[in-house]
Amino acid sequence: MSLPQIVDSHCHLDFPQLAGELDAVIARAHAAGVTRMVTICTKLREVAQVRAIAEAHAGVFFAAGTHPMSVAAEPMASVADLVALAAHPRMVGIGESGLDYHYTSDSREVQIESLRIHIEAARQTGLPLIIHARDADNDMARILTEEHRAGAFDCVMHCFSSGAELARAALDLGFYLSMSGIAAFPRSDALRAIFRAAPPERILVETDAPYLAPPPHRGRRNEPAFTVHTAKVGAEVFGMDLPEFAALTSANFDRLFRKAA
């Protein structure tokens, strides 16, 4: 019997926790039914190594942007930089960008400037924006809504673990919510309720590997093969079996990340 095929829509295969055994990590993912992965570049000066991983491995695509926690220490990306990178056939998204006020609230203004640049690049390229949001729900909802009114773009709220109001604002704009291992943690009932209230056709799954491993691997290094554990929880949340949920989220991924379809 063949395994359900599923997509890890967000991982970091260039990070040192995974890079040392990349071939084995990707082989384990494929063996678990995770046939496609998007590896995310968080600093544009590192895009060459992320791009090389996507070029070298079947089923691996990449996205590029400047992470909000890094933006104060990195050169500011330009729209032209991001648009030029997006010409690569395996670059499928813009980001991750966003706002993080948990540890880096002092760089709020430069984070907002960077976010608006990434949004414009998403508009111009037609690639989906990949959003990281932490402890910034009000600003995030306001900016995404303002910018979408100024010109439409596609978007996924990666590793969604914010509040119900930001979820509703994103869904009202036609955006997607991505389930990470956080949604599978035993104490994440409130987060699972937010997902349960969302349209199933707007849900993706991800690992954010090497971080946030779902049970039974919680507290250890995460890797794309573990997407299936979060997907099993997602299937329960939506009252589906795993093959149905895997097919649904894969179709959702194809609709949003059209270059990887």
Task: Give the pair of three-digit tokens for residue 243.
Answer: 């093959």
Asked whether residue 94 is assigned to any structural domain, the reply reads yes
Residue 1 has pLDDT above 80, yes or no: no
Asked whether residue 220 is assigned to any structural domain, the reply reads yes
The region that residue 167 occupies, defined by phi over 0 for left and psi between -120 and 50 for alpha, beta otherwise, is alpha
Residue 36 has pLDDT above 80, yes or no: yes
Domain coverage including residue 41: 6-260
- Considering the chain, what is the average pLDDT of its residues? 97
Domains held by the chain: number = 1
Asked whether residue 231 is assigned to any structural domain, the reply reads yes
Asked whether residue 1 is assigned to any structural domain, the reply reads no
In this prediction the pTM is: 0.97
Asked whether residue 12 is assigned to any structural domain, the reply reads yes
Residue 16 has pLDDT above 80, yes or no: yes
What DSSP line would sit under 130-165, residue for residue?
EEEEES-HHHHHHHHHHHHHHS---EEETT--S-HH
Residue 63 has pLDDT above 80, yes or no: yes
User: Where residue 89 sits, what CATH number does that domain have?
Assistant: 3.20.20.140
Task: Give the pair of three-digit tokens for residue 55.
Answer: 């070029």
pLDDT tens per residue, range 185-236: 999 999 999 999 999 999 999 999 999 999 999 999 999 999 999 999 999 9
